[in-house]
């Protein structure tokens, strides 16, 4: 999810998966300054002329906070998390969206329980079930946000009640994949349909783990101190791309450990890393500074699309960028004035789904947009 080193506004969403805190996605990510909320950055465009890789952009949702939309294996459906007070959804819940429809005057089908906070949904092989993380077993109420700190530090909550569940498309939970004390969330599924990657505090730090599709054979992937999360598989299922905020100095390490002991993390520096599924050949691929997160592999398997504010002196806008897997060839993809993130290519490579603050009349609304991808 992200960070920046400038008066961070507030709220939270760990991730491209992680911990969510109502309000707009940019607030969740804690990545925008209050300047955004003055209305100075109001934009009502759906497509910018510089966005040469995007064609036929279409807006799907119209209001609320719609984020982390991910394709079914057959590209016929999307699963996403939504907060929308107009629907009496005050705490992120999971919904199934038809990419060919618009949801201006109707609500999509909810497949989570409506209890607790949910996040990081993803289709399972066969497209008849989805996984997602939820806090509902610990408490059916929406978990509280961290109080504003006297030291002014911006932090994300790492809710220890998050566990990962599998539900059918009628909303029935049919399996619980994790049941350890502590945070288990940010799960995504390999295109091969054989493995799940997720973030967990089960070893005392925020590390990546994999498990078989049925929850067995849990293996640790990362082990270096710091937050590793928001991982996705490469198209051939052999590698992982993820975001990481890794403390290096004695002061940074001390701060990280103290916050983590309180169930908090300060996302002040995020860069992107690639490794094999077993954790070998770990490589940092961005050295941009600022918040670099929400990565996803290009269908070729040679490039990564991601969200970043590295070029934004004020901490925003966040736009989508593409970079080669070896860290070369950085290219800007979107040009919104506020926030673009959570990109995912369809499995056939023809479309891109993403969340954006574009065309929201200066409100806090974050909506889903689909575009044809143009090479």
Which pLDDT tens digit goes with each residue over 255-290?
999 999 999 987 767 899 999 999 999 999 999 998
Name which of 7-16, 80-89, 315-324 the model is least confident about. 7-16
Q: Which of 71-85, 146-160, 221-235 has the lowest mean pLDDT?
A: 146-160
For residue 40, name the pLDDT band (cuts at 50, 70, 90). Answer: very low
Q: What angle do CA 241, 79, 232 make, to 5 degrees?
A: 5
- The mean pLDDT value for 51-74 works out to 97
Q: Is the pLDDT of residue 31 over 70?
A: no
- Residue 44 β-bridge partners: none
- The residue-averaged pLDDT of 66-91 equals 96
- Percent of the chain at pLDDT > 70 equals 88
Whole-number pLDDT of residue 43: 63
CA torsion through residues 62, 358, 26, 79, sign: positive
Reference 216, options 201, 234, 195, 199; nearest CA is: 195
Q: Which residue has the tokens 């004390």?
A: 181
Please provide the average confidence, as pLDDT, over all residues in the chain: 89
* Cβ 330 vs Cβ 319: under 8 Å: no
pLDDT of residue 371: 98
Give dist(CA 86, CA 347) in Å, integer.
Answer: 32
More confident residue, 315 or 9: 315
DSSP-assigned letter for residue 144: P
At the top level of CATH, which class does the domain 25-39+66-279+288-297 belong to?
A: mainly beta
Say if residues 342 and 16 touch (Cβ distance below 8 Å): yes
Q: Is the model's pLDDT at 308 over the cut of 70?
A: yes
Q: What are the angstrom distances between the C-alpha of 217 and each of 93, 125, 181, 198? A: 28, 18, 18, 13
Q: What is the pLDDT of residue 366?
A: 97
- Please give the span between the terminal C-alpha atoms of the chain, in angstroms, as a whole number: 27
Q: Which residues contact 66 (CB under 8 A, 6 or more apart)?
A: 60, 80, 81, 82, 84, 355, 366, 367, 368
pLDDT confidence tier of residue 28, bands split at 50, 70 and 90: very low
d(CA 270, CA 292): 5
pLDDT of residue 34: 28
Type and span of the H or E element at 258: helix 250-261
Model pTM score: 0.91
Reply yes or no on whether the pLDDT at 198 is more than 50. Answer: yes
User: Rounded to an integer, what distance in angstroms lies between the CA atom of residue 164 and that of residue 240?
Assistant: 19
Q: With a cut of 50, say whether residue 231 has pLDDT above it.
A: yes
Q: Please give the Cα distance from 157 to 180 (Å, whole number).
A: 18
* pLDDT attached to residue 268: 63
Q: Is it the case that residue 38 has pLDDT exceeding 60? A: no
For residue 260, the SS3 value is helix
Query: Is 80 exceeded by the pLDDT of residue 123?
Result: yes
Distance (Å, rounded) from C-alpha 87 to C-alpha 111?
15
pLDDT higher for 75 or 41? 75
3-state secondary structure string, 23-75?
CCHHHHCCCCCHHHHHCCCCCCCCCCCCCCCEEEEEECECCCEEEEEEECCCC
**pLDDT tens for each residue of 139-174:** 999 999 888 887 877 788 999 999 999 999 999 999
pLDDT value of residue 156: 84
> Of 69, 68, 61, whose CA–CA distance to 87 is shortest?
61
């Amino acid at each position: 999810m992200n960070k920046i080193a400038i008066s961070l506004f507030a709220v939270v969403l760990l991730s491209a998966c992680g911990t969510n805190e109502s309000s707009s996605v940019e607030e969740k990510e804690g990545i925008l300054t209050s300047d955004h909320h003055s209305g100075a950055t109001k934009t009502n465009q759906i497509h910018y002329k510089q966005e040469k890789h995007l064609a036929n952009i279409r807006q799907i949702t119209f209001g609320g906070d719609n984020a982390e939309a991910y394709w079914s294996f057959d590209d016929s459906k999307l699963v996403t998390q939504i907060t929308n007070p107009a629907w009496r959804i005050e705490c992120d819940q999971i919904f199934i969206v038809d990419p060919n429809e618009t949801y201006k005057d109707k609500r999509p089908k909810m497949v989570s329980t409506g209890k607790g906070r949910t996040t990081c949904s993803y289709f399972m092989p066969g497209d008849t079930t989805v996984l997602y993380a939820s806090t509902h077993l610990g408490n059916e109420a929406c978990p509280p946000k961290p109080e504003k700190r006297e030291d002014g530090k911006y932090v994300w909550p790492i809710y220890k009640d998050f566990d990962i569940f599998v539900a059918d498309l009628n909303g029935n939970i049919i399996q619980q994949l994790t049941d350890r004390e502590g945070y288990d969330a940010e799960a995504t599924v390999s295109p091969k349909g054989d493995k799940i990657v997720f973030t967990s505090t089960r070893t005392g730090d925020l590390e990546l783990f994999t498990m078989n599709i049925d929850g067995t054979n849990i293996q640790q992937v990362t082990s270096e101190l710091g937050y590793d999360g928001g991982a996705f598989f490469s198209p051939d299922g052999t590698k992982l791309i993820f975001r990481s905020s890794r403390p290096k100095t004695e002061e940074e390490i001390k701060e990280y450990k103290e916050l983590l002991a309180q169930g908090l993390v300060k996302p002040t520096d995020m860069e992107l890393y690639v490794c094999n599924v077993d954790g070998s050949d770990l490589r940092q691929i961005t050295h941009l500074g600022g918040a670099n997160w929400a990565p996803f592999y290009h269908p070729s398997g040679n490039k990564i699309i991601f969200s970043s504010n590295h070029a934004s002196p004020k901490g925003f806008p966040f736009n989508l960028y593409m970079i080669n897997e070896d860290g070369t060839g950085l290219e800007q993809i979107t040009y919104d004035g506020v926030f673009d993130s959570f990109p995912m290519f369809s499995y056939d490579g023809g479309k891109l789904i993403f969340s954006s603050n574009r065309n929201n009349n200066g409100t806090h609304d974050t909506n889903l947009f689909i575009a044809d991808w143009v090479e």
